[in-house]
């Protein structure tokens, strides 16, 4: 099984949104038994909390389930256990690479690295900007491109 972990700062806005959207896209392609999806945060401030209300509203409007999703903090073991670790911004990448130390980090990338024509490199944090709509559009595009890349690479 292919495993994908989405990472943001606190695991209540961007990464759970990406987890839910990516899981939904994979299910629509009939890949739910082939791809495992999860999310985590760099910090532990929100451990055990459900996604932010703004994330919940967007996902509900899109008809995408976030049932059972609770914030957790990324662990060193995650770096070994997941095939793809997808961060939302450069700060997250730096934290993940620091956590990895001298281990291989080629599987750690930013979500928007998969969107060749994106004007942005980072998915802005709606916890601070309040712009959940923009973030949803960026995450949808990133997840679609990521899934296409995985399908091509893994011949799914």
Residue 108, beta-bridge partner list:
85
The alpha carbon torsion through 81, 34, 132, 87 (nearest 10 deg) reads 30
Chain centre distance of CA 9: 11
Q: Which among 13, 14, 122, 136 is annotated as catalytic? A: 14
| Euclidean distance between CA atoms 70 and 41, whole angstroms | 11
Q: Is the dihedral of CA 26, 94, 96, 104 positive or negative?
A: positive
Known catalytic residue at 8? yes
* Sheet strands (E) in 1-156: 2-8, 35-41, 84-87, 108-110
Give the separation between CA 26 and CA 79, rounded to whole angstroms. Answer: 22
Q: Does residue 14 carry a catalytic annotation?
A: yes
Q: Which residue out of 38, 110, 125, 136 is catalytically annotated?
A: 125
Q: Which residues are catalytic?
A: 8, 14, 125
């Amino acid at each position: 099984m292919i495993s994908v972990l989405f990472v943001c700062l606190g695991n209540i806005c961007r990464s759970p949104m990406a987890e839910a959207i990516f899981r939904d896209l994979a299910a629509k392609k009939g890949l739910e038994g082939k791809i495992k999806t999860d999310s985590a945060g760099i910090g532990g401030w929100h451990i055990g909390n459900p996604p932010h209300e703004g994330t919940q509203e967007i996902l509900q409007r899109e008809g995408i389930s976030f049932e059972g999703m609770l914030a957790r903090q990324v662990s060193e073991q995650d770096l070994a256990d997941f095939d793809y670790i997808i961060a939302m911004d450069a700060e997250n990448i730096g934290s993940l690479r620091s956590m990895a130390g001298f281990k291989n980090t080629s599987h750690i990338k930013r979500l928007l690295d998969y969107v060749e024509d994106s004007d942005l490199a980072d998915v802005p944090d709606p916890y601070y900007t309040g712009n959940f709509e923009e973030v949803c559009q960026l995450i949808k595009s990133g997840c679609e491109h990521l899934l296409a890349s995985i399908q091509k690479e893994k011949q799914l």
